[in-house]
Each structure stands twice: as structure tokens, then as C-alpha cells.
Structure 1
Amino acid sequence: MPEGATSISSKTTTASGWRAFTVAERHPETSHITSFVLKPADAGGLPHYRAGQHLTLRFKGPDGAPLIRDYTVSCAPNGAHLRISVKREPHGSASNWLHDHLQPGQDIDVRAPSGDFVLPEEATRPLVMVSAGVGVTPMIAMLEAAAEAQDGRSIRFIHGVRDGAARPFAAHVAALAARQGHTRLDVFFSRPASGDLDAPGHHEGRIDIDFLQRETPIGEAHYLLCGPMPFLRDLATGLAAAGVPRGRIHYEFFGPMEEIFEDDAAPAAEPAKPAPGSGAYVGTDAQMAVEEHVARALLDSAADAVVASDAEGLITVWNAGAERIFGFAPQEALGQSLDIMIPEPFRARHWEGYHHTVSTGESRYGAGDLLAVPGLCKDGRRISIEFTIVLMKDAAGVVTGMASTIRDVSKRFEETRTLKKRVAELEKATGAA
């Protein structure tokens, strides 16, 4: 391994799924975004993935402690390499370290790409790709895949940036659009520099729902959205209000986990399905010991769901409360990924924190902290849940899994939201008077 390498695993895939990749190239896309081209250190084949998915990276940070982050694969499957394109964040320890230290020849640990934010396979409907800033990265991969497929689908590629200097992949996107043959480009500049507005399809301002309603096929298209939360909330809720079925609104975001839609808990595009797992679940002595530990640690679990998982995030304990809340019988849930109960837009952030906790033995949350996030049921409903986390450790202090008590608080959430809306209406009426 070259001097300064940051890989923690060996060059072969470990039992935990980590595999060393070598940085083959790095390219500046803008002053704040750098692309890293990755190839397997063992010279083996690339993992299978779909355009739009993300991969998980693990590397040693400035203090030597492992950092785990998720980054979109910014290229379509090509059989030669993976590519990530990372924005330097002012206070981002991981992004700053990658920009400042990761060089060609160094190794970094990678998990196979995953995620459901992918290019829709249905080629008969138009696609509208809408992104802001570095949210363009999955769109680049999808546009590459569409150009390669040559299936004749109509694409509207809409991107928002500060100015031309901050726009990544500009020439590459133009070339892909020409190659695909049915792609129309629009770029919005919030603070355009001289010359930014000279080209056709270049606009001053920000992308808004009025533009999408006026310029895109609302009644037909799949909408693919990627960017920060305020951007997504405005566009996703606007599209839903305009009559676009939520099954045709696909999104990926950066920032805290919270719901996009403000109205009723949004249904998933499809009912949740158990992910391909490790086959029939068989409890070992160690796993049975974990179950006993969970039983002792969570004494008041009868009315709530009790769910435990191993270091890989596979479910090892699933009680009657979990079946009642989420709908999966124990034989359906045990041995499956926690993804079956996590809405897709929140999975990347969940796994980033999960793998970091397993690797470091430390959680960002204190014992007993009550967390609130959306949950996903077997029938596709989204619910509001609150939960606490208990880390399960072996005698050496190594995290072997996690356990949670989970409560469905959807009714209380709705009552609170209704009350807030009523208070806002009264305040508005009082102000008007």
C-alpha cells in the first residue's frame, strides 16, 4: 500500500463488506468540487450498481479515527471504474480531508453502491432531472446511462448554481445531451457573472415550481430531484399539489433527516419488501446472548417495538410490537436489513451514522436520547416514530449491534401539526384585525 494510504481493510473484501479501492485519478470540477476516480485495489471486477446510487467510504481522518461517509457515484456503470465528486464543505471534516489529502495511488475502503434513487427503467415516460449545486452528481450518472441506452426517452435537465464558475460538468453535460439526442438543458444562475446568461436555456434566478408547471410535462413525467432540503421541499410539495403522483416524484437530499411532504405521511412508491438477505435466520449462541441482553436492557418494551440488529444492520430481534407497528412477521423480518423499516430517502444518512457508530464505538446520541424520524411499514405507509438506541458491545468494548425501542407517534404528530396550523391561523387573523 502506498505511503499515506488511508484504507483500513486489506485489499480483498472483508467479512463486513469493505473492499479497498485505489484512487486512480483526481480532477477538479470547480474550485469547490473534486472528482476521484476509484478502481479495485485487488484488480478484480467492479460491483454491480445502477445510475444514481451512492457508495459508502471509510477512511482515516485527521486524528486517525475512521470516518464514514456516503457519496453518489457520479458516473454510470462502465466496467472500468467508479467516480465520486465531492464538494468541500466549510466545516466538513471528511470533505476537507478528501480534498486536501487523498491523492492518486492511495487506497480507501468502499462498500458496494446502494440506494433506490435511480434512473427509472420505464423508458416511455419523459424524465425531468432537477438539481441544485452538487446535487447534480446523480443526474450526471443518470444522463450518462441514458446516453448509453439510446432508448429515445425525452429528458429535461435542469440545474441551479450560483454562477458559471460554480457549475460542475458543464461541458460533459452538453456533450451527453447531444449524444442522447432528446435532452433539453436549462441552467439557473442565482448570481450570474458576466456571460453566464448568453447561452440558450440559461436563466437568472432560482428553479421554482412555476417554471416546472409551465415548461415540463406535469401529466406524464418522472421527476428526479436532488439538492438541499428547502429546494426539495418547495419543488416536491409543489409537484404533488400540481397533481403529480408521488410515485413519479423521486428525490435525494442533503441535510438533516426530515419529511419532505408537509401533509399526510407520504406513502412509499411501493410497499416495502424484505431486501435480499443472508437466507433463513439461524440464531447462534452469541445472538441468543444478545437477545437476552436486549430483554434485560429494555424492560418496558411490551407496548412498543423492540428491534435489534447486528454490526451489519441485519435484524436479530423483532418482537410482537414491531410486527404490530411495521406489519412484518418475525419470519419476514429476522435476517433482513433495517432498510425494510426506513423510507428510501433517509437510508443513506442512516447507514452513514450506523457504520460510523459500529466502527468507532461511539454514537452522536446519548443514552436515552429520544429520536424522531419517519418509518416505513410493510404496506408502504409512512408513519412518524420515536425511538431510543442501545449499543450492544462485547467484552472488549467492540460494538456488535444495536437495539431500539420504537413507538408509533403518528397520531400525536398529526394533533401537534393541526394545533400549530390553528395557532398560525389565529395569529394571522389577529394581525389582520
Structure 2
Amino acid sequence: MPNIILERIMNNYLNINSAIITLVTIGLITIITIVAYSLERRISNSSPLYQRLIAHLTEGFVLAISMILLQQIFHILNSGSINNGWLYANAQLTILLYCMYLIRNQITLWINILMPFVYYNSMNIERLENKDLPFFIASYIFLVAIVIFIYLQTEKLQNSEWKYLFLQTLFGLSWWVLLWVDHSFPIYEIANMLIVFLIYMSIIRFCAKKVQETMLTYNDLQVQVNYDELTGIRNRANLDKTAQEIYQTYHSEKVPLTVTMFDIDHSKEFNDQYGHSTGDEVLKHVAHTMEREMFLTDTKGQLFRFGGEEFIIIFRGKTPEQCTPIVKDLRDSLVNTPLFLKGQKLNVSISFGISQLKNTDSSFDDLFNRVDKYLYESKNSGRNRLTVEGQTIDFDEKKIEP
């Protein structure tokens, strides 16, 4: 008897087809994870509706294609038969449940809710005449309740392994009762298939966690490489990459591109009088204020810390004339938001230089050198000023100096 059981386990679970399906499932989940993380990095709740809709439709499409690919691979491995169908079913259930935790959008929710009527649509009419229809209805309602609960409580469930395992068990049990109604296998097999599903899910989840950790590590490295550690905005390295891209894109185009460079007036005095920690707070205050105001006013500009107390803003599709009132508003917001630190009120002002990319510029450096020159014209004219293509504006007096 033990030999028969061992032989059955070897034939059903430890064979080449099982290994192939497992590897394919891991591969599909890896692809889904990469796509989901890549899309979620580009959207947020504040993103336009059409962008969020496109991202969610893409995620749903990738999930649907993964299910179809898994089905086709299973049929190829089994020469079109349904032998070892438990293997294919558990693989699909694993992907469905995993995506509920990973993607968390309404398209994924609806795919899970409608899947019992899609995976085997030829049975939809026959179920009405099946004596076990009440079991199907009860199990389907139970499945929908579990799926909705997971959708609403995903973040809380991810922090509890026991809750995750419990809901995973209920999810698998509901599905295997539905499959039992459709395929009429011995009911005791439900327990076997459920155990296999839990083992399968554990293997896949372990591999998926490693993929997620790799993605998070990559994201952390991206942040370290491209963002300034002190202020949190884009850094010099990111600017260098962006500069090459925008020069190639805008140099031969009629669409304007304008660069603004500014730095903090009397920054050395902050360091000398109050210490370098205060100087760092001033830098963060300026960066965060400018970034916040640019976001709230939707200026479409990109803010970079060039180095020291110097910053750069790149405005795509805008002329210097269009950027001048934007820069004035940014400067006014900073002046009207003093920094209070250790009982001290610190008034911070900044000086600007602005110039547009020209056809005669042989590289981005030509534009940068011109903007840098205009910035120093503003500082040499008394600071707290803006120089636009050689003309200096005094923010307080509102007049143009030659």
C-alpha cells in the first residue's frame, strides 16, 4: 500500500510536467510583478484619470494574457487532454490570488469575480441542470465575499501571515468546490487539491517575494543615484542625463525649452552665523518650498539641485517670457514663507538667471553657461533679482535694469 501511494505521488506531483508548469508560473508572476511595479511608479492618486485607467487596463491585460498562456502551455504539455488538470487549476488560482495582493485595482477584482464563468464557459448552461447547483451558488457567493474582502483589506493582510494563510485556504476551498461541481471528481480529492494549492502558493509566494525585494532594491538604488540625499529632489547626475535627452529632443524642434538657474542669497552667512546644520535646513526649506509650489501650480517644470546652494529648473514647451511670471510667483512664495528654526526667523531670498535653448547652441553646456552668466548678473546687481536673456529685473522694485 505505501508503495502505491508513493507511486501515485511521483506520477501526479513529481514529474517533468509539474516542474515545467511551476517554472512557467514563476516566470509569469515575475513578469506581472515587473510590469505592476513599473506602472505603479509612474502613477499615483493625483495622476490624471486617463493615465490611471491605462495603467490598470495594462495590468489587467497582462493578467489575462498570463492566464491564456498558462492554459495553452498546459494543453501542449498534455497533448490537448485534461490529464493532471489539478496542476493547471492550481497554477491559475495562484496567479489570480497573487495578483489580488499585488495589483489591487478594480479590473483585477472583476477578473477574479467573473473567472468562474469564463474559465469553462461551456458549463454555464449545464450548471443550471446540475443537481449540485446549490453547492456552486453557495461556493461562488463565498468566493466573491473573500475576493472583495482581500481587495479592501490588502495592506492589513500583507502584514499578517496567519490571516494571509487563512484567506488563501478559503479562496482555494471555494474554487475547488466550484471545480468539483463542474468536473465531478471524488469529493475527498478536494482536500488533496487544497493542500497542493497551499504548497504551490507557498513556493510561488517565496519566489515572488524575492522578485519584489529585488525590485525594491533596484528602486532604492535608483533613488540614491538620481536624487539628492539632503533635499530629496533630483541631483546633478540626474540633470546630466536629462540634459543630454532634452538637447537631442528640443535642439532641432520648434517647441521651446527654457532653463532657470537660481541660488540662495547670502548662503555663506547662514553657515557662518548659525552653523552648517542651519545651512542644510535652509537648503531643504528652499527645495521643498519650490517643489511644493511647482506641484500645486502645475508648472510642468523639473527641479534639480545642481550643487551647493545652486538649483536648476527645466521648463519644457515654455519660453522665457512664459517662465518669468512663474519664477516670480515661486520667489514670492519662498519670501512669504520664512523659515523658523530654533526660535529664529530666517528670511531667505534667491537670485535667478533664465535663458532659452537656441539653434546656435552646440550642446546643453552652451545653454547652461549662458544661464549661469545671467544668474551671476542678478547677484552682481544686488541679489534678489532675475535676469532674463540679459535683462535684469528687481523683484521688489518691479523695474528692468539695463
Larger Rg: 2
TM range (shorter): under 0.3
Instruction: Provide the TM-score with structure 1 as the length reference.
Output: 0.22
Instruction: Provide the TM-score with structure 2 as the length reference.
Output: 0.23
Task: Flag the structure with higher strand content.
Answer: 1
